[in-house]
Structure 1
Amino acid sequence: MKFRSFFLVSILLITSTIFAQKFENLAQTPPMGWNSWNSFQCENVNETVIKEMADAMVKNGLKDAGYEYIVIDDCWQIGRDKDGYIIVDKEKFPSGIKSLAAYIHSKGLKFGIYSDAGTKTCAGRPGSKGFELEDAKTYAKWDVDYLKYDWCFTEGQDAKVSYKKMRDALYKAGRPIVFSMCEWGENKPWEWAENVGHLWRTTLDIDMKGRFDGDVWDNHIGWTNIVDMQVGLEKYAGPGHWNDPDMLAVGNNDMPQNEARAHFSMWCMLAAPLMAGNDLRAMSVNDQDILTNKALIAVNQDVLGKQGFKIEDLGNFEIWQKPLENGDIAICLFNRDITNKKYKINWSNLKIKDFSGSYTVKDLWKDKVIGSSNKEFTIEIPSRDVVVFRLIKT
C-alpha cells in the first residue's frame, strides 16, 4: 500500500512538473514582428488590415530583415459560446482566425493573437480569466504562434498565479506558442517570470502622443525615461527570456528621424523585442531604412543574448555597452540633449567591460570602418541622436 501511494504521488509530481512549464527553445533571440495596436487600436483593426500588413512586411523588406510575427492586439473577440469557447468578431474577421493565420503562414510569417488575464481585455472584450484552457486549446487549433497576454480588469488577482495558469494551459494545449506577458512591470516579473514567459513588459506603455508633458521624447513615460527604467535589469535577460520595454514607436506620430534612430538603436542595445507598430503600408523611406538596418538588427539579435548596460552617465550624454559573440562589443553614444555633443574617445579610458587587445571600429549607421581602438578621435553626436559602433575583435 505504501509503495502504491508513493507511486501515485510520484506520478502526480511528474505530471505536474511536465505541465508546469513554458515551451523551451522559443524566442532564443528577441522576437521581431509587428503589432496592430499603435496604429489601428480597436476601431480600425480588421482582417483586411492584418493581411495587408503581412503583405507589406514582405514587400518592404522587413521579413528579409528578420521580422516574422504579425500580431493582432485587442478587439478581435466578441463573446463566448455556451461551452466557454471564445467567439470571433465576424464583422471584423469574417473568414475567421484560423483562415487568417493560414494566410500569414503562407507568406512565410508567424501569427500572433491577444488576450488578457482578467475578466475583460483593456478594450472591454472577453478576457481569459476562468477560461485559460479553453482559450489555449482554441489558439492551438487556430495555429497561433505568439500570445500577448495583458493585465486589465484583474482586481484581486495574483500576477504570478494568473500568468502561470495561462502558461500551463498553453503547454497542455500542445502547440509551441511564444508567451508575451504584459503586466507593465507592476509585479517585477523579471524576478520570477523566466520560467513563465518568453518576454515580459517592464513598464507602462510608451506615451507616443505626449499627452502628459507634451513631449514624446522625455515625458514621464516617454521612451527615454523607459530606457532609464531598464538600468539594472540586464542580468534578468537572455535567450528565451527577455525584458520588454514596449513596442517600437518608430513611424508613429511623426517622430523625427534622429529621435527614431536613437529609439531604435537603444532597443537594439537593450536586446528588446523589436515589435513595430506603424502602418507598414505607408511608412516613409527613412522609417523603413531605420527598421531594416541590418547592422543594428544584428546587435539586437546577437546569439550571445546579452542585454546592454550603461557604462558612462554624464547627464544628458550616456555611453552604453552590449557584449556580442566572438568577443565583439557594441558601444552606443547616446546624446539626450537638444544641442550637439562633441566627445573625445580614448577607448582604453572608457569603462568598457571585458575590453582587451585591439578592435576594428565600425560606425554602424554610416556602415563604415573608421579606424582602430588603438587611436583616439573626436566625434560629434547630433542632438537627440546616437552614434553606434561595433568593436570588432582583431
Structure 2
Amino acid sequence: MLFQETLMLLAASMAVDASQALMPTPPMGFNNWARFECALNQTIFTETADAMVSKGLVKAGYDRVNIDDCWPLHERAANGSLQWDPEKFPNGLIWLGQYLKNRNLKFGIYSDAGNLTCGGYPGSLNYEEIDAETFSSWGIDYLKLDGCNVYNQGSLDSEQTYKNIYGHWHQVILNMSRPLIFSESAPAYFSGEANLTDWYLVMDWVPGYGELACHSNDIATFDTPNPWESILTNYGFEILLARYQSPGYFNDPDFLIVDHANLTLDEKKSHFALWASFSAPLIISAYIPDLTDDEIAYLTNEDLIAIDQDALGLQATLVSQDGTWDVLSKSLSNGDRLLTILNRGDEAGSLSVPFERLGYPSQYSGIFVVKDLWTGATSEVSNQITANVPSHGTAVFRVSSRLAAIPTGMIFNTASLNCLTANGSSVRWTKCTGSDTQIWQITSGRSISSLSDLSKCLSRDAKSGTVALEVCQGWHKSQKWDYAITGNVQNQASSDCLTEGQDGVVTLVECLVENNSQVFELPSGSLQR
C-alpha cells in the first residue's frame, strides 16, 4: 500500500515541477473576502487597484487582484455560462480586467467545486469546461475553487469525490492554451478532525493538481471579535504541512487581515512575518485606500518579501516550542538561514537562540552576520542571537555564514503534537518544552541525532526491534531514515516506520498510510523528493 502511495506522490511531485514555470514563488496581491465578504462592487476593486499603485504595493510585488464569492448572477446564461452581476459591476468584468491590466495588475476569480458557491451562487460542478473558457475569455489567469456544496445524498462527500472533481479541473486547465493558476480549497473541508487521515489524503494530491491550496479555516473576517486567535489557529495548521511545499506549490494559510480593528500593530506585523517565513501567499484582504503608513511600511518590507519570495520556496519549520516561545527556521537560496521568534505570551520578553539550534556546529568560533529584518540593522555575532520581543510580536533575522547549516529542529507527531525526546540512550514522545533533548539534526546521510548528544544516532536495535540512541555508525542502515511527503519516517534496515505508541512509547511498526500515529513533521530541508 505504501509503495502505491509513493508512486502517486511521485506523479504529484512531477506535476509540481511542471507548475514551477507558472508560479515559482507564492502569489502576492488582494482579495476582497475577509474584509468585505459579499458586499463587493466595482468601485471597491477600482479604488483598491489605484491605491495599490499609489501606496507602492504594486512596486513591492503585490501584482494580483482576486474577486471572491458573490460576484455572479444567480442564474447562468442561456448557453450555460456564468454572468457577472451588472448592478455590482456595471462596466463588466472584461472592462475591470483591462482596468487592472493598465495598472500592471493581474486578475483572479472565484468559483466552487459543488453545484453552489458558499454564498449560494452557481457553482461549477458539471460546467468546468465552459467556466474555464469563460474565465479565460475575460482575461482571468487565476482561479480559487472553493469546496462548498459537494454533497452526496445530503451529506458532505468523501475525499475521493473531491479528488475526482479537482482532478477533472486539473485536466481542464492543462488543456487550456493559457493555463489558470489553480488555488484549491479542498483540504479545508477535511481539516480539524480528530483523525487526520482524510485531510492528509487530500493534501497528498493537491500539489499535483494546482499551485496552492487553502488548507484549513477561513481567516477571521472584519467583524470577528478575536482575530489574533484566528491567526494562531491557521498558523497551527500550517506548521503541520511543511513537507508538502516546494517551488510550484505553496500551502495557503489564508489572507492578511491588515486593517482589522481588533489587532494591535505588533500582531499585524507578526501575521505578516510568520506568513513570509512560511513562503505563504501574501494576499491582503483590507480596504487598501485607508491603510496607514505603518501598515504599508511593514507590507512593503523588502527584506521580508525577499524571504517570502525566496527561490527555494521552503516553509519555515519549528526549531522549538514551549508554550510561550515558538522558534522557526529555514534555509534560503543563497545559503543564509532564517530565524523567526514568535512571542505568544501576554508580556514582552527576551529569548536567546544559540547558533547550534540553527544547524551550525557548536565548535565553530567564527563570526555570523545577523540582519534584523524589521530594523535593517546588521551586526556580527559569535555565539547566539538575543531578541527582545513584545507580546504577540515576532522577531525575524537573516543569518549569514560561510558554513552550511544542517536541518535542525523538532520532530513531532502532527496529531498529538508530542515531541520526540532524548533521555540518555532512550527516546520517548513527550510534551514539547523547547529543550535540547527535543531538537534534532538530520544529516545528508539520513541519520538523526539529538542536539543534547550529537555522538548518538536514532537507531533500530536489531535484536529487539526497539528504537534507541546508539553511538553513530554512519554506514549502518539501522541508523538511516527516509522521510516521505506522507510524513512517514521509515527505517532503512527494517522498512518499518517510526510510530507514537501508547504512553509515549517510540516504536517501529509496519508503515501505514496517513495514520495519526505515523505522521511527523521534521526540520525544514529534511525532505528528499
TM-score (norm 2): 0.66
> Counterpart in 1 of 2:100?
104
> Counterpart in 2 of 1:229?
237
Q: 8 Å contact 1:302–1:324 — kept in the other structure?
A: yes
Gaps spanning 5+ residues in structure 2: where?
1-14, 191-198, 403-529
> Counterpart in 1 of 2:43?
48
Deviation at 1:173, TM superposition (A): 3.0
> Counterpart in 1 of 2:334?
326
> Counterpart in 2 of 1:14?
none
Alignment partners' CA distance in 2, 1:314 and 1:208: 29
Q: Does 1:154 align with 2:162?
A: no
Q: Does 1:192 align with 2:188?
A: no
> Counterpart in 2 of 1:180?
183
Which residue of the other structure, out of 339, 347, 370, is the alignment partner of 2:379? 370
Alignment partners' CA distance in 1, 2:145 and 2:18: 14
State the Cα deviation string for residues 215-269 of structure 1 (Å, max 9, x = none). Answer: 3222xxx111221222231110011111111111222234210000111110011
Q: Does 1:116 align with 2:124?
A: no
Q: 8 Å contact 1:190–1:243 — kept in the other structure?
A: no
Letter in 2 for 1:324: L
Deviation at 1:376, TM superposition (A): 3.9
Which residue of the other structure, out of 302, 306, 314, is the alignment partner of 1:306? 314
Q: Does 1:57 align with 2:52?
A: yes
Alignment partners' CA distance in 2, 1:192 and 1:252: 34
Deviation at 1:36, TM superposition (A): 1.0
Letter in 1 for 2:380: G
Alignment partners' CA distance in 2, 1:84 and 1:288: 42
Q: Please list, as runs of the form range in 1=range in 2, the aligned pairs for 1:238-257 lying within 5 A after superposition.
A: 238-257=246-265
Give the 3-state SS of the residue equivalent to 1:227 in structure 2: helix
Q: Does 1:342 align with 2:336?
A: no
Alignment partners' CA distance in 1, 2:268 and 2:251: 20
Deviation at 1:345, TM superposition (A): 3.4
Alignment partners' CA distance in 1, 2:180 and 2:18: 9
State the Cα deviation string for residues 54-88 of structure 1 (Å, max 9, x = none). Answer: 11111111111111110011111112112211111
Alignment partners' CA distance in 2, 1:377 and 1:392: 13
Letter in 1 for 2:163: K
Letter in 1 for 2:171: D
Deviation at 1:47, TM superposition (A): 1.4
> Counterpart in 1 of 2:173?
170
Change over 3 Å in CA distance of 1:196–1:376 after alignment to 2: closer
Aligned residues: 366
Q: 8 Å contact 2:354–2:384 — kept in the other structure?
A: yes
Alignment partners' CA distance in 2, 1:224 and 1:300: 19
Alignment partners' CA distance in 1, 2:91 and 2:42: 8
> Counterpart in 2 of 1:389?
397
Alignment partners' CA distance in 1, 2:393 and 2:221: 17
Identity among equivalent pairs (%) = 34
Change over 3 Å in CA distance of 1:343–1:24 after alignment to 2: closer
Alignment partners' CA distance in 2, 1:102 and 1:354: 51
State the Cα deviation string for residues 250-305 of structure 1 (Å, max 9, x = none). Answer: 22234210000111110011111000001111111111112111111110100111
Alignment partners' CA distance in 2, 1:358 and 1:232: 33
Deviation at 1:40, TM superposition (A): 1.8
Q: Does 1:217 align with 2:228?
A: yes
Letter in 2 for 1:273: P
Which residue of the other structure, out of 186, 203, 206, is the alignment partner of 2:219? 206
Q: 8 Å contact 2:310–2:333 — kept in the other structure?
A: yes
State the Cα deviation string for residues 168-224 of structure 1 (Å, max 9, x = none). Answer: 22222322211111231524332111120100011111235685xx53222xxx111
Letter in 1 for 2:183: S
Deviation at 1:381, TM superposition (A): 1.3
Give the 3-state SS of the residue equivalent to 2:395 in structure 1: strand
Give the 3-state SS of the residue equivalent to 2:269 in structure 1: helix
Q: 8 Å contact 2:20–2:247 — kept in the other structure?
A: no
Letter in 1 for 2:72: Q
Letter in 2 for 1:279: Y
Q: 8 Å contact 1:22–1:195 — kept in the other structure?
A: no
Alignment partners' CA distance in 1, 2:384 and 2:107: 48
> Counterpart in 1 of 2:323?
315
Q: Does 1:71 align with 2:85?
A: no
> Counterpart in 2 of 1:11?
none
Structure 1 stretch 156-165 or stretch 329-338: which is displaced more? Answer: 156-165
Deviation at 1:150, TM superposition (A): 0.6
Q: Please list, as runs of the form range in 1=range in 2, the aligned pairs for 1:16-95 lying within 5 A after superposition.
A: 25-43=21-39, 45-78=40-73, 79-95=75-91
Alignment partners' CA distance in 1, 2:55 and 2:216: 30
Q: 8 Å contact 1:112–1:144 — kept in the other structure?
A: yes
Q: 8 Å contact 2:34–2:220 — kept in the other structure?
A: no
Change over 3 Å in CA distance of 1:152–1:286 after alignment to 2: same
State the Cα deviation string for residues 8-54 of structure 1 (Å, max 9, x = none). Answer: xxxxxxxxxxx9x98651121011110011222112x1112111111
> Counterpart in 1 of 2:301?
293
Gaps spanning 5+ residues in structure 1: where?
1-18
Q: 8 Å contact 1:140–1:174 — kept in the other structure?
A: no
Q: Please list, as runs of the form range in 1=range in 2, the aligned pairs for 1:259-274 lying within 5 A after superposition.
A: 259-274=267-282
Alignment partners' CA distance in 2, 1:216 and 1:273: 19
Q: 8 Å contact 1:178–1:198 — kept in the other structure?
A: yes
Structure 1 stretch 169-178 or stretch 294-303: which is displaced more? Answer: 169-178
